[in-house]
């Protein structure tokens, strides 16, 4: 990874690509929660890195449409290190947003 200097003259790495940011958000959240992520439903660049919404199966049920899902908002720095996360929504897998 190439490095650049910030406004204070300190060396830092370049911003992670969008594909790598998606992968890092899902992988690091999965490691913390010990649960495989379903998908990354949103990803955007922020002033200091990336913000991603990751969908996770929290409670697996049969039939799978009754499984409990959650959306976690994951924050990464520019190099892709996890700096924070929070659960922002829980819902049944079969639920459809009506917006």
pLDDT score for 4: 41
pTM: 0.80
pLDDT digits (tens, 9 = 90+) for 78-94: 999 999 999 999 999 87
pLDDT at 8 over 90: no
- Asked whether the beta carbons of 53 and 75 are under 8 A apart, the reply is no
Q: Which CATH architecture has domain 13-92?
A: Roll (3.10)
Give the confidence band of 99 by pLDDT, cuts at 50, 70, 90.
Answer: low
d(CA 18, CA 16): 7
Q: How many beta carbons lie within 10 A of that of residue 8, not counting itself?
A: 6
pLDDT at 1 over 60: no
Domain boundaries, the chain: 13-92
pLDDT digits (tens, 9 = 90+) for 61-78: 998 888 999 999 999 999
User: Residue for token digits 């490691």?
Assistant: 31
């Amino acid at each position: 990874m190439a490095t650049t200097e910030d406004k204070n003259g300190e060396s830092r790495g370049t911003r992670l690509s969008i594909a790598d940011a998606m992968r890092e958000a899902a992988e690091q959240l999965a490691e913390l929660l010990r649960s495989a992520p379903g998908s990354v439903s949103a990803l955007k660049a922020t002033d200091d890195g990336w913000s991603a919404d990751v969908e996770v199966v929290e409670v697996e049920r049969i039939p799978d449409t009754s499984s409990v899902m959650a959306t976690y908002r994951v924050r990464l720095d520019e190099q892709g290190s996890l700096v924070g996360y929070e659960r922002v929504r829980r819902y049944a897998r079969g639920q459809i947003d009506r917006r």
